[in-house]
C-alpha cells in the first residue's frame, strides 16, 4: 500500500479497528480516515454513500460490526443479524460505487459448523449446522463473505475476507452482558481480587478448547494481506494453538493475582466444544503470530486497569475518554 493512499478504517474504536489504526499509524500511513458511530452511522445507506463519494478511498478495512458474547447473542439475535447485514451491505456497495481499490472484510470463525473437524479449514464453510448461540451473527458474516465474492465475480472488485479466531487486547469489551470469555474472565478475577472473594464462578464445564489471538497480531496480518493476498477465497488468521477454558481461567487468575478457588457452573452453556483454525494457508504466505498468550494477557490487563471506569475508580486512576 502507498503510504499516501486514502484509507478508511470502519470501526476504529473497537478491538479490531483500533488495532488496525495503531498498525497503520506505526507503519507511517499518512491519510487514514476514521469516523465514530455518532459521526457516521454505517447502517444509514444514504449517509454512507455520501461519505464515500466525498472521500474516494483507495483501501477500506471493514472492521465495524455489532459483536458480543453468548449472553448478548442470545438476548439480541435480531439486532445482531440486522445491524451487521446493514453495515456490510452499505460499506461494500459504497466501495463498489466509488471505485475503492481493495477492501478487507473481517469475519469470524463462528462461520464454521459447530461440529466441523478440527482444526477448522477454510473449505469447511457451509458444510454443516452452525452453533445455535450465535447463529444470527454467523449468518450475517457468511453473507458478507458471499457478498465480497459475488462482487469480485460480477464487478471485478478486489475484496478479501479474513476470518480471525477468538481475539483479545486493548479496547476489548469488559461488560459482562456483552463480552467474550477472555475479557469477562479478566474482569471477574480482578473484581474477585478486590473483594477478596473466596472463589470465582466460570460458566460451563471448563472443558471447551479455544484459541486466542492478540488484536495487534491480527492487525499486522491484515496489513500483510492487504499487500500480498488478492484471492477471493476466505483466509484464517490465528495462532494454530488452543487450550481448555479451565487452563485459560487459571492463567488469567495468575496474571491478575487472584489466589482463590475457581468453580464451574455446569448448568450454563459451553458453546462449541472446540474451535481451532487451520492457519497453514496464511503460514505458507509468510505470516505467523508473534504475541504469546501470557504476555498478551499481561498487556491486556494493564490496559484494563488504565482504561476501565470500574478499575480506574478503585485504583484512583483517571478514566480515558472513548476507551471502548
**Residue 317 pLDDT > 60, yes or no?**
no
- Is the separation of the CB atoms in 243 and 209 below 8 Å? yes
Distance of alpha carbon 124 from alpha carbon 147, whole angstroms: 18
Indicate the pLDDT class of residue 309, thresholds 50, 70 and 90: low
Residue 137 a catalytic site member: yes
Cell of 166: 477468538
Listed in sequence order, the residues at least 6 apart from 92 whose beta carbon sits closer than 8 Å to its beta carbon are: 62, 103, 105, 144, 147, 148, 151, 159
Q: What is the grid cell recorded at 27?
A: 507503519
Q: For the chain, what are the domain ranges?
A: 6-168+211-237, 181-209+241-275+292-315
> Which member of 112, 137, 151, 229 is catalytic?
137
Of all residues in the chain, the percent with pLDDT exceeding 90 is: 84
Which of 137, 138, 158 is closest to 148 using CA atoms? 158
Selecting from 3.40.50.2300, 3.10.20.590, 3.20.20.70, 3.40.50.720, what CATH number does the domain 6-168+211-237 have?
Answer: 3.40.50.720
Cα separation, 315 vs 318, whole angstroms: 9
Reply yes or no on whether the pLDDT at 322 is more than 90: no
Q: 243 a known binding residue?
A: no
Choice between 318 and 48, residue whose per-residue pLDDT is larger? 48
Decide: 218 and 279 in contact? Cβ < 8 Å.
no
Is 28 one of the annotated binding-site residues? no
Residue 108 in marked binding region: yes
Return the SS3 of 21.
helix
Q: What is the pLDDT of residues 13-56, one digit of tens each?
A: 999 999 999 999 999 999 999 999 999 999 999 999 999 999 99
15 is in an annotated binding site: yes
Q: Is 100 annotated as a binding residue?
A: no
**CATH number belonging to domain 181-209+241-275+292-315:** 3.90.25.10
Predicted local confidence at residue 308, as pLDDT: 76
Amino acid at each position: 500500500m502507498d503510504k499516501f493512499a486514502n484509507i478508511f478504517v470502519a470501526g476504529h474504536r473497537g478491538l479490531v479497528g483500533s488495532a488496525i489504526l495503531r498498525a497503520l499509524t506505526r507503519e507511517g500511513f499518512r491519510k487514514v480516515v476514521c469516523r465514530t458511530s455518532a459521526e457516521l452511522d454505517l447502517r444509514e445507506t444514504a449517509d454512507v454513500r455520501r461519505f464515500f463519494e466525498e472521500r474516494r478511498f483507495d483501501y477500506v478495512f471493514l472492521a465495524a460490526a455489532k459483536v458480543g458474547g453468548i449472553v448478548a447473542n442470545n438476548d439480541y439475535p435480531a439486532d445482531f443479524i440486522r445491524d451487521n447485514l446493514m453495515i456490510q451491505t452499505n460499506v461494500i456497495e459504497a466501495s463498489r460505487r466509488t471505485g475503492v481499490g481493495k477492501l478487507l472484510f473481517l469475519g469470524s470463525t463462528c462461520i464454521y459448523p459447530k461440529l466441523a473437524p478440527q482444526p477448522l479449514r477454510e473449505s469447511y464453510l457451509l458444510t454443516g449446522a452452525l452453533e445455535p448461540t450465535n447463529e444470527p451473527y454467523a449468518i450475517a458474516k457468511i453473507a458478507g463473505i458471499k457478498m465480497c465474492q459475488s462482487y469480485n465475480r460480477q464487478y471485478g472488485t478486489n475484496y478479501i475476507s479474513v476470518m480471525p479466531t477468538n481475539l483479545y487486547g486493548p479496547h476489548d469489551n469488559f461488560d459482562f452482558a456483552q463480552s467474550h470469555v477472555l475479557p469477562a474472565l479478566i474482569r471477574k478475577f480482578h473484581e474477585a481480587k478486590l473483594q477478596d472473594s473466596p472463589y470465582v464462578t466460570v460458566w460451563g464445564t471448563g472443558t471447551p478448547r479455544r484459541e486466542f489471538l492478540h488484536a495487534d497480531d491480527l492487525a499486522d496480518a491484515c496489513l500483510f494481506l492487504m499487500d500480498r493476498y488478492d484471492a477471493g477465497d476466505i483466509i484464517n488468521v490465528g495462532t494454530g494453538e488452543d487450550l481448555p477454558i479451565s487452563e485459560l481461567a487459571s492463567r488469567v487468575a495468575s496474571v491478575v493475582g487472584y489466589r482463590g478457588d475457581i468453580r464451574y457452573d455446569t448448568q450454563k452453556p459451553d458453546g462449541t466444544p472446540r474451535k481451532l483454525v487451520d492457519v497453514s494457508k496464511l503460514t505458507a504466505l509468510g505470516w505467523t503470530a508473534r504475541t504469546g498468550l501470557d504476555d498478551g494477557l499481561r498487556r491486556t490487563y494493564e490496559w484494563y486497569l488504565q482504561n476501565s471506569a470500574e478499575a480506574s475508580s478503585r485504583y484512583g486512576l483517571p478514566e480515558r475518554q472513548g476507551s471502548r
